Amino acid sequence: MCGANPSWPNDSRETLGGFCRVGLVYQSVPGLSQNEHSPIWVRRKRLNISRSYICAPTWVRLIHVKQSQRCAMGRDPTSVGAAMFAAAMGDIVSRETLDRLALYEGLLKSWQARVNLIGPSTVEHIWHRHFLDSAQIIPLLPPKTHTLVDIGSGAGFPGLVLAILGVPDVHLVDSDQKKAVFLREAARLTETPVSIHAVRAESLADFSADVVTARAVAALPKLLELAQMLLKPGGTCLLHRGRSNEQELTATREIWHMNVDSFRSRTDDSAAILRIGALSRARPRDRDDPC
């Protein structure tokens, strides 16, 4: 379903001007104009499977949902987001997990009016821009991950989402006291066992984490300095990085030796998830070197 629009007969077309009556729902990635969305057509066909398609180059997400999900969704944005998230993640997401994420979404929206937790333009796209963006690193976690430290958790991304999805012994680190209060309330509401540290990552001690995560936190050399303090030998970093990730890596290799795998983000084609291991300094740290 990717690439040029297929030449289907007129009676088998339905424009994506909202909900397609055949049970296809969609989410347009923010930032694209209506003209970039409007040429997309979908085949009018009932499917009882859950699958997710991204149709390049228009960046419109099409998702087939089961009949029971379609009946329950109506036009409720939360239900639509949950159905899309479930379709993208597959069998690892239970109905209970979706319910907990829906509680999380509701709390996040209510707090957003008082505390700036996420970008205002993403409030109506929480399931895609934040939940799925966080959850996409689940397949990248090393086997038997026991302890995960999330640096600069903010509103809980990716750490709290990973904990809701079942990652054990997750530690959320953020020195902003208001955000720490939000994280405690979100963990309580969703009944998610996490440890919350309302301190700077530099002040943490006695950690031997299997994985360190971070999303939009610090320059990469500085972030690796923090990660090395918290990782056990042989541990792994899973880091969300933006469109300049390749340039960042080039500069960082002057300071750090590391093994790097880069995975294109499922939620932003210009971003990447970096999986970094075998981390060691390429040169001793100078006294005046911030990294």
Domains of the chain are: 10-73 (no CATH), 141-281 (3.40.50.150)
Average pLDDT over residues 273-285: 90
Q: Is pLDDT at 14 greater than 60 in this prediction?
A: no
- CA dihedral angle for residue 189, residue 195, residue 196, residue 200, rounded to 10 degrees: -160
Preceding amide of 158 cis, omega within 30: yes
Asked whether the predicted pLDDT for residue 57 surpasses 80, the reply is no
Residue with tokens 């290799």: 253
Helix-helix angle 220-230:245-252, to 10 degrees: 70
pLDDT band of 47, cuts 50, 70, 90: very low
Q: With a cut of 60, say whether residue 245 has pLDDT above it.
A: yes
What proportion of the chain, given as a percentage, has pLDDT over 90? 66
> Which alpha helices (H) appear in 190-235, and where do they start and end?
220-230
* Residue 29 parent element (H or E): none
Please check the confidence at residue 126 and state whether its pLDDT lies above 50.
Answer: yes
**What b-and-e string marks burial along 237-270, b requiring 16 or more CB atoms within 10 Å of the CB?**
bbbbbeeebeebbeebeebbebebeeeebbbbee
If pLDDT is split at 50, 70 and 90, which confidence band does 216 have? confident
Q: Which amino acid would we find at residue 161?
A: V
The model's pTM is 0.75
- The values of phi and psi at residue 205, to 5°, are -140, 165
- Residue, of 60 and 241, whose pLDDT is higher: 241
Distance of CA 154 to the CA centre of its chain: 13
106-115 tens-digit pLDDT:
999 999 999 9
The secondary structure of 227-285 as a DSSP string is HHHHEEEEEEEEEEE-TTHHHHHHHHTTTEEEEEEEEE-SS-TT-EEEEEEEEEESSPP
**Could you tell me which residues are beta bridge partners of residue 261?**
275
What rounded mean pLDDT belongs to the chain? 78
Q: Of the candidates 125, 176, 141, which has an alpha carbon nearest to the alpha carbon of residue 155?
A: 176
Q: What is the rounded average pLDDT of the residues 92-102?
A: 94
Question: What average pLDDT does range 58-85 have in this prediction?
Answer: 55
| Cβ atoms within 10 Å of 44's Cβ, excluding its own | 15
pLDDT at position 79: 81
| Cis peptide preceding 57, ω within 30 of 0 | yes
Q: Does residue 51 have a pLDDT over 90?
A: no
Tell me: the pLDDT tens digits for 63-76? 344 444 443 444 46
Residues in the chain: 291
Q: In the numeric block, which tokens belong to residue 39?
A: 């040429």
pLDDT band at 38 (very low <50, low <70, confident <90, very high): very low
